[in-house]
Structure 1
Amino acid sequence: MKRLLFVVIAIVALNYGCKEEKQPISSNTIELISPQEMQEISQMEDVQLIDVRTPKEYKEGYIEGFQNIDFFSDTFSQEIEKLDKSKPVIVYCRSGRRSSDCAKQLKEEGFVKIYDLEGGITKWEFEGYEIRVN
């Protein structure tokens, strides 16, 4: 009888312990997107387009329509504050590291939807998409 009780308790404990807790849907999310997805999303009305590389990197080549806000700049936070938190934002950098950090900061600041270009402008260019040069 003790053995049966132990088995029942073990089954109940495993059943509750393995259940996946449902997380509330966050009002602000980060989505990693491919160059093809970015091409489509960047055409949406009201989307804000941000290149977070340095001005030097930006001059070497950029994706048309994107505003340069240097992630390493002392004024980065003030520049981000000028954006509309209720509108989606696409961010990219050279390879994806800075834009990932930027996306996390935007999420903390309360932006509703953040898209981060996977692989940055390097992947964008590698996949044959056009870049502009100053």
Structure 2
Amino acid sequence: MVFIYNNMKEISVQELKEKMDNHEDFQLIDVREDFEYEVSNLGGTLIPLGGILIEADKVSRDKPVIVQCRSGKRSAAAIMQLEQLGYTNLYNLTGGILAWANEIDPTINVY
């Protein structure tokens, strides 16, 4: 089930895990900083929020793109910026990596 929050499409960590388990074709973008990514990550492409517009060419336009951060706030900000460039295929990971650690993998390092 996809929820639209403030006109933004969201996806739960359970739905993300299903997509990963099913080897679905999507792109995962992590908009946290390098040091945060080094602590723990879900294997997504690292594009820190501050560089999202500069590196927008790395974001796919032809498949679903799930954007994640620590809690969901920075990823929402990244989506709002990218939508101004005409992206319509973006989904915010609700709760970010904190929700992943809480609901999917309690062994992942969080901060």
For this structure pair, what is the TM-score category when the shorter chain's length is used for normalisation? 0.7 to 0.9
TM-score, normalising length from structure 1?
Answer: 0.66
Q: Are positions 1:53 and 2:32 aligned together?
A: yes
Say how many residue pairs are matched: 100
Deviation at 1:131, TM superposition (A): 4.2
Structure whose residues are more often helix by fraction: 1
Deviation at 1:77, TM superposition (A): 1.4
The correspondence for 2:83, drawn from 103, 107, 110, is 107
Counterpart amino acid of residue 10 in structure 2: L
Give structure 1 stretches of 5+ with no counterpart: 1-28
Aligned match of 1:96: 72
User: Secondary structure in 1 aligned to 2:79?
Assistant: helix
2:28/2:65 contact within 8 Å kept: yes
Q: Distance in 2 between matches of 1:37 and 1:114?
A: 14
User: Secondary structure in 2 aligned to 1:111?
Assistant: coil
Q: Distance in 2 between matches of 1:115 and 1:49?
A: 10
2:14/2:104 contact within 8 Å kept: no
Deviation at 1:33, TM superposition (A): 1.3
Larger Rg: 1
Aligned match of 2:96: 120
Give structure 2 stretches of 5+ with no counterpart: 1-6
1:69/1:79 contact within 8 Å kept: yes
Deviation at 1:32, TM superposition (A): 1.1
The correspondence for 1:44, drawn from 24, 27, 50, is 24
**Structure 1 segments of 4 or more deviating over 4 A?**
none
Q: Distance in 2 between matches of 1:41 and 1:128?
A: 13
RMSD between superposed Cα atoms in Å:
1.9
